[in-house]
Chain A
Amino acid sequence: MNKPVEPPQRFTSPPLTEGDRAEAKWQAEYARETSEDRTVVNRSGIPIAPLYTPADWDSSRYDDTLGFPGQLPYTRGIYATMHRGRTWTQRQLIGLGTPDDYNARLRDILARGASAVSLIPCNSVFRGYDMDEVHEELLGTCGTVLNSAAHMDRALEGVDLARTSCAMNDPSPFTLLAFLFAVARRRGVPWSAIAGTSNQSDYLSHYVANHMFFRIALPGARRILVDHIEFCNRLAPKWNPMSVVGQHMQQAGATPAEAMAFALSTAIQNAEDCRARGMDPDRFLPRFTFFFDLSISFFEEIAKLRAGRRIWARIARDRLGAKEPRAWRFKFHAQTSGVDLTRQQPLNNIARVAVQAMAGIFGGLQSLHTDSYDEVLSCPADVGARIAVATQNILREEAHLTDVIDPLGGSYYVERLTDQMEAEILRVMKIVGDAGGMYGAVESGLVQRMIGDSARRAQARVESGEETIVGVNRYQAEEDSSARQPLARPDPARMKAHVASFRAWKAARSQAAVDGALDALAAAAESAKANVFEQVVAAAESGCTHGEICGRLRRAFGFGHVQAIV
């Protein structure tokens, strides 16, 4: 006899609520009305749904994952008042020509609303050379040709050093800061009053991306950075010696999540190097700052920054052992992404920069550089730089973006995306951690390979048309080349005179003082107990030039090769 067929089992589900019915109705309608069901994935690889609802974010986790501004885990901002209390620092990068050219441009930009000094030196400075050692054609075309304390004095003429924050693109061995200290002493301004940031002091980001640095071998760069942090903490406590750069990696091709993960891994590496020196995290971490790229992937950038803030607070407290809230705060400067700008229809870049800047503002930045629309054409000219400053003023004062703190907090989408970006950032950080931390992962080329892979994937998305770039792969139009301003170039006669007077000044110095200072620098590099940066400052005060200081350190620490990884 056949076994009787068992009756189908019945599950009883709770009765449908009105909300469930509404959701089902929306789903059906959405499915009916979307002709193509394309998958949307953001740059970090996270799939994006067409709608987010209370099911995507559990508001009972508010205290744990969001909290209030100025409180752990700082998701909503590092200060209680955020932009409502103090707006971000408007920090436009400038640098061109001679120190006198720079000074004129600086005063103009300060008068137009910029609130701090930023200084970009000539590319020859990044590479560790003086102006009389390099191709003359390139001098001053991308930054100021500044090789001595006397040049710094002229560049900052009329600037009150005790009241103006100075950010300088000043990678290892931090000679620009040494020149600034020399000028401050000459003007009677105590170093304890000097405020600002050693932009791009992060040697690891230079090794894997960007490469605008003085090439010495990794161990030497690691040593000088810790010496620099120690010296500044001790003698210039308002100075931020550590600027951890995620921007380089993202510009070089890393996804937003990867760039954040690499930056956080770098910060851990540098903090642990400081701790290994016996330094106190409650003293050095409050002077760590970060620097990020703002791409046009609007919500993704906001989520990246909110997630980064939350991850860093926990790392600083739990892993690095900092007890002071000041040490948990994730302070950052951000720059709108030049990679997203197009040469085609260049005025469109003004719109792009505004959107990128908004992402950073909603992401809770402390300092902002907006790119000039013509950055993709050449080094920015005056008009472009003025529009970039005006963009910030408009967003702040006309659009009222500063009225409410973390205005997108509580958005189902933004909170869900923040959680997902956090998970992705932590996943990449684990890859780096498993490779021995950031130093090891850079030494082995792992990070460089990951960045290269992501760069190629991004390019493939543009070429396949999956990612639209207006004017490049869609909406191409006849070009109006009138928007493409000629490249601003330093006056060759003035540059020649600058080089000639530098040569004459060098010849007239006390050679004994210069030699003595450089020998002391070499001796410090040899001794594990000495502070190399202390001797860089002493050399700057003795009249040594940037190229002389770098040359001596190159000999002491060895040349830094960059792996050719394609």
Chain B
Amino acid sequence: MTTDFRPKVLITKIGFDGHDRGSRVVAAYLRDAGMEVIYTPPWQEIPAVVKLAVEEDVDAIGVSSLATDHLIVPKLMDALRAAGLDDVIVVLGGIVPDGDEQMLLRSGVARVFHPGVALEEIAQYLREATTKIRAARAAA
């Protein structure tokens, strides 16, 4: 499916881990797939991510986590809601144990992508999800 707008996606890492292969590969793929991608290096503080999301008016945030940093993603979700960004799609990619996936979904994360996922599957998901929120925003 194609969209008549360019989804705006922030790709970032919060917490301590620095392994950025995944976030770089995904960011480059989404860019090449026609999205507007804002990429940050690892170790962003949660308030910095929220500030960037507000300033750039992003449709979606992709968080990469390979070394348990997903455990503070619920804090990010709270901070996004506090800033009024309730409708921003947050997806997470990386190493997330089964039990934690449920915890993340409950906290408001839209989807968790595990190792081995095809890049196009991520792109497809983001196109569909951001189309919905753009439509909802337009209707509001």
Closest chain A residue, CB of each to CB of B38: A564
- Assess A141 versus B97: contact at CB under 8 Å? Given A126-B16, A211-B20, A343-B115: no
Bound Cα distance from A452 to B25, whole angstroms: 7
Closest chain B residue, CB of each to CB of A124: B16
Shortest beta-carbon distance from B76 to chain A in Å: 11
A459 & B119 in contact (Cβ 8 Å cutoff): yes
Judged by a CB distance under 8 angstroms, whether A487 is at the interface is yes
A212 & B17 in contact (Cβ 8 Å cutoff): yes
Shortest beta-carbon distance from B19 to chain A in Å: 6
B42 & A562 in contact (Cβ 8 Å cutoff): yes
Which listed residue, B15, B25, B100, touches A487 by the CB 8 Å rule?
A: B100
Shortest beta-carbon distance from B140 to chain A in Å: 33
Shortest beta-carbon distance from B121 to chain A in Å: 10
In chain B, positions 7-58 with a C-beta closer than 8 Å to chain A are: 15-21, 24-25, 27-29, 31, 37, 39-43
Shortest beta-carbon distance from A560 to chain B in Å: 11
- Assess A563 versus B31: contact at CB under 8 Å? Given A138-B71, A472-B116: no
Bound Cα distance from A561 to B42, whole angstroms: 10
Q: When each residue 479-494 of chain A gets 1 if its CB lies under 8 Å from chain B and 0 otherwise, what string results?
A: 0010010110000000
A135 & B17 in contact (Cβ 8 Å cutoff): no
B40 & A481 in contact (Cβ 8 Å cutoff): no
B67 & A252 in contact (Cβ 8 Å cutoff): no
- Assess A213 versus B18: contact at CB under 8 Å? Given A376-B95, A379-B68: yes
In chain A, positions 234-260 with a C-beta closer than 8 Å to chain B are: 251-253
Judged by a CB distance under 8 angstroms, whether B75 is at the interface is yes
- Assess A342 versus B115: contact at CB under 8 Å? Given A123-B17, A252-B20: yes
Bound Cα distance from A378 to B98, whole angstroms: 10
What residues of B have a CB within 8 angstroms of the CB of A377 in the complex?
95, 97
Bound Cα distance from A124 to B17, whole angstroms: 9
A142 & B68 in contact (Cβ 8 Å cutoff): yes
What residues of A have a CB within 8 angstroms of the CB of B19 in the complex?
210-212, 251-252
- Assess A138 versus B68: contact at CB under 8 Å? Given A210-B18, A343-B114, A378-B95: yes
A211 & B25 in contact (Cβ 8 Å cutoff): no
B68 & A252 in contact (Cβ 8 Å cutoff): no
* A contact face: mostly helix, strand, loop, or mixed: loop
What residues of B have a CB within 8 angstroms of the CB of A463 in the complex?
118-120
What residues of A have a CB within 8 angstroms of the CB of B115 in the complex?
342-343, 376
Bound Cα distance from A481 to B114, whole angstroms: 14
Bound Cα distance from A206 to B17, whole angstroms: 12
Judged by a CB distance under 8 angstroms, whether A469 is at the interface is yes
Shortest beta-carbon distance from A481 to chain B in Å: 6
Judged by a CB distance under 8 angstroms, whether A344 is at the interface is yes
Number of interface residues of B (CB under 8 A): 36
Closest chain A residue, CB of each to CB of B115: A343
Bound Cα distance from A251 to B33, whole angstroms: 25
Judged by a CB distance under 8 angstroms, whether B87 is at the interface is no
Max chain A CB contacts within 10 Å: which of B37, B42, B97, B118? B97
Judged by a CB distance under 8 angstroms, whether A455 is at the interface is yes
B99 & A487 in contact (Cβ 8 Å cutoff): yes
A452 & B24 in contact (Cβ 8 Å cutoff): yes
B68 & A251 in contact (Cβ 8 Å cutoff): no
Bound Cα distance from A212 to B42, whole angstroms: 10
Judged by a CB distance under 8 angstroms, whether A456 is at the interface is yes
Shortest beta-carbon distance from A530 to chain B in Å: 30
Closest chain A residue, CB of each to CB of B32: A456
B18 & A211 in contact (Cβ 8 Å cutoff): yes
Q: When each residue 446-475 of chain A gets 1 if its CB lies under 8 Å from chain B and 0 otherwise, what string results?
A: 000000100110010001000001011000
Shortest beta-carbon distance from B15 to chain A in Å: 6
Bound Cα distance from A343 to B66, whole angstroms: 13
Shortest beta-carbon distance from B99 to chain A in Å: 5
Judged by a CB distance under 8 angstroms, whether A127 is at the interface is yes
Bound Cα distance from A141 to B100, whole angstroms: 13
Closest chain B residue, CB of each to CB of A561: B41
What residues of A have a CB within 8 angstroms of the CB of B120 in the complex?
463
What residues of A have a CB within 8 angstroms of the CB of B24 in the complex?
452, 455, 565-566
Which listed residue, B21, B27, B72, B119, touches A135 by the CB 8 Å rule?
A: B72
Bound Cα distance from A383 to B98, whole angstroms: 18
What residues of A have a CB within 8 angstroms of the CB of B21 in the complex?
209, 251-253, 339, 455
Bound Cα distance from A240 to B119, whole angstroms: 41
Contacts from B to A (Cβ < 8 Å):
15-21, 24-25, 27-29, 31, 37, 39-43, 67-69, 71-72, 75, 95, 97-100, 114-116, 118-120
17 additional A-B pairs beyond A339-B21, A472-B116, A564-B41, beta carbons within 8 Å, are A123-B68, A127-B43, A135-B75, A138-B69, A141-B68, A210-B18, A211-B19, A211-B41, A251-B21, A342-B115, A343-B115, A343-B116, A484-B97, A487-B97, A562-B42, A566-B24, A566-B31
Instruction: Give the top 8 A-B pairs by smallest Cβ distance, nearest first.
Output: A211-B18, A123-B16, A141-B68, A487-B97, A472-B116, A137-B71, A562-B41, A378-B97
